[in-house]
Amino acid sequence: MAAPRDRVAAFGGMVWQVGADDPRRMVHGLKVALALALCSLFYYVHPLYDFTGGNAMWAVLTVVVVFEYTVGACLYKGLNRAAATLAGGALALGVHWVASQSGKELQPYVLTGSMFIMAAAATFSRFIPTMKAKFDYGVTVFILTYCLVSVSGYRADEVVFMAQQRLTTIAIGAFICFAVCTLVFPVWAGQELHVLVARNMDKLAAAAEGCVEDYFSDPAAVDAAAGEKPARRALSAKSQGYKQVLNAKASEDSLANLAKWEPGHGKFGFRHPYGQYQKVGAAMRCCAYCIDALAACVGSEAQTPAHIKKHLAGTCLALGRHLATVLREASGCVTSMTRSDRLGLAAADMNATAQELRDKLRCLATVLEEGEDGSPEAEQEHDAVTELRTSPLMEALPLFSAASMLLEVCARAELVIGAVETLATTARFKKADHDEKAALDTEAPVPAASAGNPVDAH
């Protein structure tokens, strides 16, 4: 008896979690129910019942089929349905008239033949990418309406009367639908996309920083506790966030397509460049692929000994922090829809540190290769040299690989910055307040702990 009870409890917990993760999902259920309850008034309130002539089922049907989670999806379906119903109905009536002119004998053949051609062409058109993205639902409704009207066998004047009555009811249903969806805790696809991209950028920042930290963290304690030879190290939870970025393409594409149907709302104008968010998303995924390769360096069995790692640890950790700062600045720009000089400054810091890492790499390589040279850097590392001479270069190779992977991650982060800057230009982000203040008040020292940028304050 315990097993089924446990399973029910587990399912219940999972359902609760789905609601707790995003309470708007529960609100959505209530919104659909509210819209249906409003439609049902057309059955129970006498004047309303008389107005629709008992056709209120079309209002209910419209609400169930058209009501979606985001405003964009709701409008996409509603507008597609309306346009396709009108187009399909009008075309079918035209063909109906042509068929009626061709005599009783031929009429069925004309009607069935035209339906055959229309249905085949419309179904095929759903495979065309632009049609698929924008009018997939409309094509289905078009075929449906065309077939029902053209084959129904009604006389044209009957159809026109019926259509008039039904269209009124459908319009009422659609109006209720849009009103509830837009006015009661609306969920905008555009805003969802906006938040998703910014949040993923934060995850990418945390993962990049986390991977570098994991790489240079001391696994000795863990290994000693396990009492075995060093196994593949697990990544910290923070470092794993990039995996969500890898799989975000489908959500981004769908949200961007739906957002284009939305009217202007809040900070999002009617022609907000949602397509550019997809490009930012693509640049982030490109960056995430490299972080995956960096994570492989962390997990690899072949590790450079700690006494060699420590020569690059400081610079690498600093670069990881700068990289995370750049991505967090970019995410902050997207979130607040502002342009900030700090993004450029953070990127410059990152590039300077990347150059420093390249120099350190060269220096370490020279030390390993030739033992000593006259450069000041080599002098500084003099104590380390004798130690390093005894370790084969082979042991240092995993470190070199990890460092160059980190440099590649930085190069790809710059592409993310570029995409964010294009977004800022096309969406006309405003200048950030703190930049304006700084410009007005250049004499005063900039406070050391400026908000949102705890690591690198300029």
Residues numbered 241 to 270 that lie near its own copies (CB under 8 A) are: 246-247, 249-250
By C-beta, is 12 or 454 nearer to its own copies?
A: 12
Query: Between residues 154 and 175, which has the closer beta carbon with respect to its own copies?
Result: 154
- 91, 100, 152, 171: which one contacts its own copies (CB under 8 A)? 152
Decide if residue 144 touches its own copies (CB under 8 A).
yes
> What does each C-alpha distance from 268 to 191, 303, 451 come to in angstroms?
8, 49, 25
Candidate ranges 12-20, 325-333, 374-382, 443-451; the one touching its own copies (CB under 8 A): 12-20
Closer residue to its own copies, CB minimum distance, 260 or 285: 285
Which of 90, 148, 162, 313 contacts its own copies by CB under 8 A? 148
Specify the stretch interacting with its own copies by CB under 8 A; choose among 77-85, 90-98, 282-290, 446-454: 282-290
Between the CA of residue 107 and those of 93, 95, 118, 306, what are the distances in Å? 13, 10, 16, 87
- Per CB under 8 A, which of residues 25..44 are in contact with its own copies? 25-26, 28-30, 32-34, 36-37, 39-40, 43-44
Return the residues of window 307-346 that contact its own copies according to CB under 8 A.
Answer: none
**Minimum distance from CB of 218 to its own copies (Å)?**
23
Q: Which amino acid is at 72?
A: G
Between residues 291 and 327, which has the closer beta carbon with respect to its own copies?
291
* Of residues 341-370, those binding its own copies (CB under 8 A): 361-362, 365-366, 368-369
Site for its own copies in 372-411 (CB under 8 A): 392-394, 397-398, 400-401, 404-405, 408
Per CB under 8 A, 300 contacts its own copies = yes
Task: Out of 196, 223, 289, 450, point to the residue binding its own copies (CB under 8 A).
Answer: 289
Residue closer to its own copies (CB basis): 324 or 402: 402
Answer yes or no whether residue 51 interacts with its own copies by CB under 8 A: no
**Nearer Cβ to its own copies (166/285):** 285
86 is a site residue for its own copies (CB under 8 A):
no
Interaction with its own copies in 408-437: which residues (CB under 8 A)? 408
Closest distance between its own copies and the C-beta of residue 366, in Å? 7
Of 222-230, 256-264, 284-292, 349-357, the window that binds its own copies (rule: CB under 8 A) is 284-292
- Look at the block and give the residue holding tokens 């507008």: 79
Of residues 191 through 250, those in contact with its own copies by CB under 8 A are 246-247, 249-250
What's the chain look like in SS3? Answer: CHHHHHHHHHHHHHHHHHHHHCCHHHHHHHHHHHHHHHHHHHHHCHHHHHHHCCCCHHHHHHHHHHCCCCHHHHHHHHHHHHHHHHHHHHHHHHHHHHHHHCHHHHHHHHHHHHHHHHHHHHHHHCCCHHHHHHHHHHHHHHHHHHHHHHHCCCCHHHHHHHHHHHHHHHHHHHHHHHHHHHHCCCCCHHHHHHHHHHHHHHHHHHHHHHHHHHHHCCCHHHHHHHCCCCCCCCCCHHHHHHHHHHCCHHHHHHHHHHHCCCCCECCECCCCCHHHHHHHHHHHHHHHHHHHHHHHHHHCCCCCCHHHHHHHHHHHHHHHHHHHHHHHHHHHHHHHCEECHHHHHHHHHHHHHHHHHHHHHHHHHHHHHHCCCCCHHHHHCHHHHHHHHCCCHHHHHHHHHHHHHHHHHHHHHHHHHHHHHHHHHHCCCEECHHHHHHHHCCCCCCCCCCCCCCCCCC
- Report in angstroms how near the CB of residue 454 gets to its own copies at its nearest: 31
Cα(294)–Cα(159) distance, integer angstroms? 66
Tokens encoding 147: 């077939």
Q: Which is nearer to its own copies, 246 or 438 (CB)?
A: 246
Rounded to 5 degrees, what are φ and ψ at 23?
-60, -15
Judged by CB under 8 A, which stretch of 116-124, 191-199, 212-220, 305-313 contacts its own copies? 116-124
Question: Minimal distance in Å, beta carbon 197 to its own copies?
Answer: 18
**Min dist. Cβ of residue 14 to its own copies (A):** 7
Which of 290, 346, 417, 419 touches its own copies (CB under 8 A)?
A: 290
Q: Which is nearer to its own copies, 394 or 440 (CB)?
A: 394
Q: Which is nearer to its own copies, 366 or 450 (CB)?
A: 366
The yes or no reply on residue 61 touching its own copies (CB under 8 A) is yes
Q: Which residue's entry shows tokens 């720009």?
A: 333
Tokens representing 235?
Answer: 């990544």
Count residues near its own copies (CB under 8 A).
76
Residue 83 contacts its own copies per CB under 8 A = no
